[in-house]
Amino acid sequence: MGTVDTPIVAVHSTGDGPSAWVAALKAEMPGVDARPALEIAGDDLARVDVSISWRLPHGVMASFPNLKLAQSIGAGVDHILEDPQRPTHVPIARLIDPFMAGSMTHHIVLQILRWHRQADKYERFRADHFWAMSEAFDHRKLHVAILGLGTLGEHLSRSLTALEIANTGWTRSPRSVEGVASVSGAEALDALLGRSNVVVCLLPLTAQTEGVLCAELFAKLPRGALVVNVGRGGHLVEEDLIPALDSGQLSAAALDVFRQEPLPSDHPFWADDRIYITPHIAAEVNPATASIVFAKNIALVRAGETPTGLVDLNRGY
Ligand code: NDP
Ligand code: OXD
């Protein structure tokens, strides 16, 4: 096995493609030897010390014998954890980028206000050249339950509060953060759902959170609630959604993530106007800002120090 004396950063992304990421990383870290992961072969495999990836094909990471860090191009790391050949001794870092938190908040606020201000109805009126006002909107009637109050959830909470929209976060372990209301535990969740007409899922996908958005949870919300899923497709029990909309228990759902992406063109969600669909763009990772984080983490790893965003492998996030 070779030593890593001239290290390589292996890059892979199914979004912008590896070359855009290699270029952004080189702009931030001149001199770095960064290459598309799938083009690294032979003796060079042993020179890879850091992988920076989004949905790297399974098995590729295992071909880097001297890997010291698996950096996710994304806040979620489920795409790395699900590789059955992942070298389990290699630490994983998620992306913590303030740019993404702002972007996620914008997306969620847009979905909540689209629903609350009945934007779709006014679009239809506009198309029909029809002038009519409905009842006054009252944002004091909104209460948003934010499932997952991490980097993204906390930013959302503060922003909603600034917009005078009441909200409470739900976490795994109790936490106390000034200016951010939160609860933890199953009992507290039930009470929170009972007073929330909007629920936003910003959880990581783990064995504990898989399928959390299900008929049982919907039944705990006031009738006519809105569900926003921006976590992962695996959080939603898809077959429970349309029945909950048909019964009036939910009035709409804004989904950015799906069990199968791209969402198949014959999926029943497409035909349902009560389901707002976006193609996993709630908080797209920005190569320029993310590369600042990646460059710092590469430098830390190479200096033998702890990188930022390390995942607790026991918790899965
Ligand atoms: P963090 O790791 O910072 O926060 C996760 C939060 O979820 C924490 O508050 C944590 O609780 C809570 N949590 C985890 N497990 C449980 C559980 N079993 N019960 C209750 N609460 C739980 O994550 P981020 O905020 O950075 O990102 C969240 C997720 O958003 C990502 O994992 C990803 O899946 C998704 N995402 C989606 C994007 C999109 O474009 N659609 C873009 C970016 C991210 P505690 O505080 O106690 O640890
Ligand atoms: C992420 C994502 O996890 O884009 O960052 O979904």
Under DSSP, the state recorded for 100 is: H
Is-contact 241 267, C-beta < 8 A?
no
CA distance 186 to 208: 12
Query: Cβ(258) to ligand 1 under 6 A?
Result: no
Long-range contacts of 61-64 (CB under 8 A, 24+ apart): 61/85, 61/86, 61/87, 61/90, 62/86, 62/87, 64/10, 64/40
Question: For atom 1 of ligand 2, which residue has the closest CA?
Answer: 74
Among 114, 232, 267, 315, the one annotated catalytic: 232
280 as an active site residue: the answer is yes
How many angstroms separate the alpha carbon of residue 101 from the centre of ligand 2?
11
47 as an active site residue: the answer is no
Q: Which of 240, 229, 307, 298 is nearest to 268 (CA)?
A: 240
How many angstroms separate the alpha carbon of residue 102 from the centre of ligand 2?
13
Question: Tens digit of pLDDT for each residue in 160-215?
Answer: 999 999 999 999 999 999 999 999 999 999 999 999 999 999 999 999 999 999 99
CA distance 278 to 284: 12
Name all domains of the chain by residue range, CATH numbers in brackets. 8-97+285-302 (3.40.50.720), 98-277 (3.40.50.720)
Query: Cβ(253) to ligand 2 under 6 A?
Result: no
Query: Cβ(204) to ligand 2 under 6 A?
Result: no
Q: Strand, helix or coil at 2?
A: coil
What local confidence, expressed as pLDDT, does residue 1 receive? 44
CA distance 296 to 86: 23
What local confidence, expressed as pLDDT, does residue 2 receive? 44
Query: Cβ(282) to ligand 1 under 6 A?
Result: yes
How many angstroms separate the alpha carbon of residue 76 from the centre of ligand 1?
8
Partnered with residue 51 across adjacent β-strands are: 10, 70
pLDDT per residue rounded down to tens, the chain (317 residues): 444 578 999 999 997 788 899 999 999 999 999 999 999 999 999 999 999 999 999 999 999 999 999 999 999 999 999 999 999 999 999 999 999 999 999 999 999 999 999 999 999 999 999 999 877 899 999 999 999 999 999 999 999 999 999 999 999 999 999 999 999 999 999 999 999 999 999 999 999 999 999 999 999 999 999 999 999 999 999 999 999 999 999 999 999 999 999 999 999 999 999 999 999 999 999 999 999 999 999 999 999 999 999 999 999 99
Query: Cβ(172) to ligand 1 under 6 A?
Result: yes
**Which two structure tokens, joined as six digits, stand for 119?**
């934007």
What local confidence, expressed as pLDDT, does residue 135 receive? 78
Ligand nearest to the CA of 281: 1
What local confidence, expressed as pLDDT, does residue 8 receive? 98
Is-contact 157 180, C-beta < 8 A?
yes
CA distance 177 to 187: 20
- Residues 39, 294, 95, 78, Cα dihedral to 10°: 30
**Which two structure tokens, joined as six digits, stand for 193?**
């759902």
Query: Cβ(54) to ligand 1 under 6 A?
Result: no
Query: Cβ(74) to ligand 2 under 6 A?
Result: yes
Ligand 1, pocket-test mutation among 203, 285, 312, most atoms within 8 A of CB: 203
Question: For atom 5 of ligand 2, which residue has the closest CA?
Answer: 74
Query: Cβ(104) to ligand 2 under 6 A?
Result: no
Ligand nearest to the CA of 279: 1
Question: For atom 2 of ligand 2, which residue has the closest CA?
Answer: 74
Q: How far is C-alpha 168 from the geometric centre of its chain's CA atoms? A: 19
